[in-house]
Amino acid sequence: MEKNFFIKSQGLGNEYIIIDEKNITFPLTQKAIQKICNVNFGIGSDGILIKTNSDSADIGLKIFNPDGSEAEKSGNGLRIFCKYIYDYKIIPHREFTVETKGGKVRANIQETIHDRASLITVDMGKAIFSSKQIPTSFDSEEVQDEIILIEDKKFVINCVSVGNPHCVIIKDELDVREIKKYGPKIENYSKFPNRINVQFAKIISRDEIQILIWERGAGFTLASGSSSCAVASVLRKKELINNKVTVKMPGGELKIEINDTWDIRMTGEVRQICEGTLHEELVSSLL
């Protein structure tokens, strides 16, 4: 494998670049991450996935947002990373574990096309509703139907962690303009010490929901695995949906399953876009 080799793949339009930390010739600084992810000056991406070693799992993963901040977990990022691990024979079997900052997860390659992973299931861990563990600084033990005021508008919010923090707002109708306007303000609301991912959610039926996503550190996003898990967890806790649900997003659909102990399983497609090496002219600008 050449130095500075990379893979770029997408899950439902949510795209990530994958790099092996042992195979790069430059320090992965905030500046470097921002430039690589920039569509004009770099490759263009919703984030970077870094393959690392792990003492507690089969493989390790670090996830970086395009602003250079590190994310605890990403559902689409995990599936993309697992496809890379399987396709490039880094781990030779279909089931393996991945250590992330947000906890260890188990992956299963469900379907392949020409021996390349196409449909992947990831056990995303447990939904956590404790306000302090999410974390938030609300006084209540759980953030359920709390009202916050953002500029001139009130929002009824529900918060959960699925390895990273989420704020779910149930809506009768979804409006992209609305989440683009208020998403960044909710993300940086004073009660969220680590910022937060934001979802507007519409219930279609007990088996189907539709969501829009403002992703912490990335902005408006076509799809998100962890956001899908978060919304399904909140709606399941409110007994508004069944334990198996299809989550529809602008980028596509995911299947989410939640058991009685709040363990979450996510299934969705992933496709590779390209592979290559970072050119020396780009690398020199990262130093």
What is residue 68's three-state secondary structure? coil
- List, for residues 95-107, the tens digit of each pLDDT value: 999 999 989 999 9
Alpha-carbon distance of 68 to 62, in angstroms, equals 12
Give pLDDT, residue 94. Answer: 96
Integer Cα distance of 229 and 252 in angstroms: 15
Average pLDDT on 233-241 reads 98
Q: pLDDT digits over 41-93, tens only?
A: 999 999 999 999 999 999 999 999 999 999 998 999 999 999 999 999 999 89
Round to whole Å and give the CA distance between 43 and 8: 9
| CB of 105 closer than 8 Å to CB of 123 | yes
- Nearest-angstrom CA–CA distance, 83 and 176: 30
Q: What is the pTM of this model?
A: 0.90
Q: How large a percentage of the chain has pLDDT more than 90?
A: 96
What domains, with CATH codes, occur in the chain? Answer: 5-124+270-286 (3.10.310.10), 144-261 (3.10.310.10)
Q: What is the pLDDT of residue 259?
A: 96
Q: How far apart are CA 187 and CA 166, in angstroms?
A: 9
pLDDT at 183: 97
pLDDT over 80 (residue 1): no
How many Cβ atoms sit within 10 Å of the Cβ of residue 276? 12
pLDDT score of 92: 87
DSSP assignment of 80-108 equals HHHHHHHHTTSS-SSEEEEEETTEEEEEE
CA nearest to 272, candidates 49, 34, 33: 49
At 118, the pLDDT band (50, 70, 90 cuts) reads: very high
pLDDT (average), residues 30-49: 96
Query: Can you tell me the distance from the alpha carbon of 142 to that of 5, in angstroms, rounded to the nearest whole number?
Result: 44
Per-residue pLDDT tens over the stretch 166-189: 999 999 999 999 999 999 999 999
Tens digit of each residue's pLDDT (9 = 90 or more) over 207-224: 999 999 999 988 999 999
196 pLDDT band (50/70/90 cuts)? very high
- Residue-averaged pLDDT of the chain: 96
Phi, psi of 209 (to 5 degrees): -135, 160
